[in-house]
Chains A and B, each alone.
Chain A
Amino acid sequence: MSYLGDVLALTRKDLRVELRARDTLPAMLLFVLSTLVVFHFALPEGSGDHAAYGLLWVAIVFTALLGLARAWVAEQEHRVLDGLVLAPCDRSAIWLGKTLATLAFLLAAQAVALPAFVLFFAPLGWAALAGVLLANIGICAVGSLMAAMAAAGRARELLLPLLLLPLAIPLVVGGVGAAISPEGERYLLFLLLYDGVFAVLSWASFEYVVTE
């Protein structure tokens, strides 16, 4: 109960900081919308829905990357992470709080982006939407850990995409597969498995990322 309370307090803190600073979410919204507009004009006529679903995933992954790049900025300023790491709470709660907050930002960006996608490109079925939801969880779980690792390094802006993009490939495969394959459920199961495995790995390894 106390663990969950810590996670919720940390998530609430991140949402409150973002609500006041407005650093991340507006940038994510603008980015995903402008990306979809560019794709709309760049995609030749008659390209079909399959190409559009692929482009949706490019937009989603890079929007998530944008949000994750700023995920630990508040903790880096004034070295707040030192204060959190010294607290007697389970350190994985810090990761989980950050993951949930990043997930909330990504969902908020998609609440605008997905209707825009339907308007510009193609309809989204339940399997495609479930794929987006499951992939979001995976991206945010792994991404929060990778962003914490990158934040500790010197070239953090360069490091995060290098760390995250290879790990995001299975999520893109699963997300696109869920949208276009007649056997979409298999891809959803694959995404569920990815989420489970990588969430546990990230949860267990966060402590080693933030301590020497």
Chain B
Amino acid sequence: MIRARALEKRYGRKRALAPVDLDVARDAFLLVTGANGSGKTTLLRLLAGLLAPTRGSLEVSVARGRLGFLAHEPLVYRELTALENLDLYGRLYRVPERRERAGMLLERFGLWEARNERVASYSRGMAQRLALCRALLHEPDLLVLDEPYAALDEQGAALLDRELADLVTIRTIVVSTHDSARLEQLATSRLALA
């Protein structure tokens, strides 16, 4: 599903991602690790199509709109409620029965009670849970998650563990994390960036 050869990203003279080769099969689970500044976020943004490579080649066999992307930021409007955000994304991502799907995800991630509150009033952990709902809303074929455990409390992290365990056999998943031990069992391949 993903094939990269000598994939590299530079901003002027600054190298954000050293050349990397990558093969990710359909329904595989790739765990990306590395120190701060090693290029994990850059690699994931390249895979999502949000950045263009400076050198090398990258093929991602997923149609636009079939990719679920979790970034450092939640990618939601602070002045809208959780439900309004998911309704907007559901419409733009062509989710059938989007209100039911949004409600189901909000309930699963423990946000149902806060569904009509503005995101601006959410804690960082609640915003991260909402970001996960947004990334999963359209049941993507490829799930790209950048530090998904960031800001989650133990209960939120356990919810995510369960969600990933459910998805691991039916979706292609790429996750970058500092907490590799947590996902070691699910991973089918690993990439350590230097």
Q: Are the chains A and B members of one assembly?
A: yes
Chain A residues within 8 Å of B, Cβ to Cβ: 2, 5-6, 9-10, 13, 16-17, 20-21, 74, 77-80, 82-89, 211-212
13 A-B pairs within 8 Å (CB atoms) are namely: A9-B91, A13-B88, A17-B80, A20-B118, A74-B78, A79-B75, A82-B48, A82-B50, A83-B76, A86-B67, A88-B65, A89-B65, A89-B93
- By Cβ-Cβ distance, the 7 closest A-B pairs, closest first, are A88-B65, A83-B75, A87-B92, A212-B52, A78-B73, A17-B79, A20-B79
Q: Confirm or deny: B49 has a beta carbon within 8 angstroms of a beta carbon on chain A.
A: yes
Pair A6/B77 contact, Cβ less than 8 Å: no
Instruction: Name the CB-closest residue of B to A91.
Output: B64
**Which residues of chain B from 58 to 103 have a CB within 8 Å of any chain A CB?**
63-67, 69, 71, 73-80, 84, 88-89, 91-94
Instruction: Determine how close the nearest CB of chain A comes to the CB of B14; give it in whole angstroms.
Output: 15
Q: Confirm or deny: B51 has a beta carbon within 8 angstroms of a beta carbon on chain A.
A: yes
Pair B69/A87 contact, Cβ less than 8 Å: no
Chain B residues within 8 Å of A, Cβ to Cβ: 48-52, 63-67, 69, 71, 73-80, 84, 88-89, 91-94, 118, 134
Pair A74/B79 contact, Cβ less than 8 Å: yes
B71 interface neighbour in A2, A20, A21, A79, Cβ under 8 Å: A79
Pair A86/B74 contact, Cβ less than 8 Å: no
Pair B93/A87 contact, Cβ less than 8 Å: yes
